[in-house]
Chain A
Amino acid sequence: MNFNNIQNLINTLIPSLPSWIVFMSAAIFISFFVINAVVMTGALTVWLERRLLARIQSRLGPNRWGPFGLFTPIADIIKMIGKEDIVPSTADKKIFNLAPIVLLVPVLLVFAVIPMSSNSFLGQLNIGILFIVGVTGFNTLAVFMAAWSSRNKYALFGAMRGVAMLLSYEVPMALSIVSVVLTTNFILNIEGSSLSALSLVGIVEAQRIPFFILQPLGCLIFVTAASAEMSRAPFDMIESESELGAGYHTEYSGIKFAIFQLTEFLAPVATAAIISVMFAGGIRGLSIIPGSISLIAKIFIIVLIFIWIRATWPRLRVDQIMNFAWKFLLPLSLINIFSQAVLLQIFLSSSSISNTELWIIAGINWIIAAVSIFILAKVFGHKGRAKNIPIPSPLANMEFKSE
């Protein structure tokens, strides 16, 4: 199901409609479908995250309404909508009201271009990956709008950290995307495909072996940078509830707060969708399973990994986060691009391409990844494991009574 199919369907059902009405009604149908499906997925993720986090922490988690507490998010949403919507009197009201929408819409837009079948909902968008980089960049703006307009110092602190962090992690993320596009371009050119290397369909097409095997370093950088982009643990700087109350959305309540929460839980799904398309082969999988099912399965596996990370890692400090971006991830992503370009030039300059050659590239890339991470970690990481050697103070003149 995609945009063109719906247009054709409307045209065949009612032949004599003006084309703009067909266009509009198809667009409304598609957006209705996508938004509802995505929001329901968000609700499911809320349940999944709370439930799984509880199991990891040896608790029960929500289990009151529905089987396994499955309907708890519905109760949450009803409660949120029922709450009073407070706008602080000192707030900049227009921007304050606009910020949740600016935050939510990019996440929904991402789902519009994810190829759920051989096509995405919006049809063949030949700059899909560029579109994703573009729209996800909006969240920086939305965070800053929310914080600045609500006129709260805690919110401002969250936004200050957030903007610095989000901007710096865009760089390694974009660079890891570049290496994916590079590889796709090479493979598609050799195969003589007409698909654009920037389109997500093209990227899926090029993944004879999934790119997380072909370029592990790029995948690792992308996962790290993306979890910073959606500000999840261990990079949940903009919210950091133990320090800043609620960070950038301190002043929000009611339905607007619900939108922030929804975005927070949708972001892992959207990121997982991008990762599974770019690195895990998208709809490719076992031939007996329909493509969309295998894509959804991949998305949820990656979401589970994100939840697992959240349950076991504490938050970094803001300067450490910036150091990590510029001193660790940026060199790594440059190494990744360079090595990938050189390898492709060596192996794929011929007119044909065999899977053996791809596996050789993958092997070399794994070695490069291991070595470069090891060296950079030696340079920037903690010096050895913390062995706490007790050092008695000279002031320790306590005379123990002999036992």
Chain B
Amino acid sequence: MADLQQPPVLDIRGYSLDYEAPNGTFHALKDINLSVPRGEILGLVGESGSGKTSLAWSIMRYLPKNARETAGTILLSGEDLMKKSVSEIETMRGKRISMVFQDPSTSLNPTLSLGTQLSEVLTRHRGLTRRQAWREGEAMLARVGLKTPAAMMQRMPHEASGGEKQRVVIAAAFACNPECILFDEPTTALDVITARQILDLFVELQAETGVASLYISHDLALVARTAQRVAVIRRGEIVEQGPVNAIFAQAQQAYTRELIAAVPDPRRRLVETRPDVSGDALVKVEEVSVHYGRTGFFSSLTGTRERVTGNRAVSLDIRRGEILGIVGESGSGKSTLAKAMTGLNRFEGRIWFDGRPITGLKDMDTAYRKDVQIIFQHPDASLNPRQKIREILSRPLKLYGSAAQLDQQIGDMLERVRLPRTHADRYPHQLSGGEKQRVAIARAFASRPRLVICDEITSALDVSVQASVIELLLDLQKQSDTAYLFITHDLNLIRQIAHRIAVMYRGDLIEIADAETIDSPDRAEYTRRLIQTVAPPAGATHPSS
């Protein structure tokens, strides 16, 4: 596909970028060499802080004041972008080089209609009148697969879904037939099925127009499925680059191999334990429903009411020592059950724990609390920023166990989650994201619980950190035989670690299936769509499998 005869459309040579900070210079990018020829998608993969987004802004010539470009050139079709004036750059952006952003709900102006925001690119760069631009905009929306383009033009951003908005953003990026487009995590903010559709659209439009594309992502699996070549960036340096198949088959660098290994692959099961199927289930959830919202005093006078259903009559059970996964999109109600089980939400229905009925907050005594622990998604939010790790970890000991030799116990807890004992004296903000989540895990395991609810606990973490947290969780599970309720949107991950998987959709439990047979064709229609959507890339075979 890539045309190698012509010079590359985007050509970055020996580029280095520093940021001047009050406490010294930070080298954001070091000697970057990348080129994207016409017709190619180059994937740029890196974890948070790797410098991948800095590079995008360098190409777009949109750098903060404290940025210093110390070496190199950035060429677009042979023209040096670094030598262009501000007004020259302004005439190029959107016309010859454009960009698609991560989150369409923040990258569109909330007070302007979608049509205005699309057609302004056309009036600016193609010299169309407003009316022409509007008509052209409708045609563009039809091209990106929107069913009712004329109506969509009139809508405000909040009246469109995430997927629709991202299609509008893509339409604007392709509007002037640019030479080069940067895609900065274009699907990260979307649900899996929508994300897949957006990526398919992108690949289709790219093939049609032959635009040189730089696809920036943290997700190696997505890049592998979309790009022809991939470059891996770490701490501002390109570690390795080459054709996707070659990189996956024989990565030269240890870091690349580590990244590839960290990508969840459902074909590689990580869990080795078996749940105890003899006797009664540890937890039985019977017809649990949760409703949100209340009627305000003044609203009730005017007769307006609002009630949102979080869960509709969900029934399931969890065996002793079982890892039960719950998957679903955002808003599917997968976290609602977790909140009900920990007394954070009112619920109707009944929960049996170890033969004991739990109907609400009042039944959740210390013994129940000790047995059922929860870990939240964002360790930043779940650890009190004004308490030292020591105080955070001392709470479960004081509540459920003995507070004797507190320092000794806290040190042991930290070691159990593979953190140095000295971390007890730190505040949460002095720890990295992965370290903070380990502290939260240590806190949950302090009481030797029988059930730990993990609510999206790895989705705020980088893949390599996620892999190590998962490894830790599975080790702890092997040692203690704790049951997990593992809530996630990542189907590939849950297929690796769960015994059974519950699929939820808009508040309903669709079905529960064995993790090993979740991809069987007998599954419910929604489950099959999910499985299809996130199927692992064909070319990406795992080195150890």
- Pair from one complex: no
Question: A residues near B, CB below 8 A?
Answer: none
Residues of B that sit less than 8 Å from A by CB: none
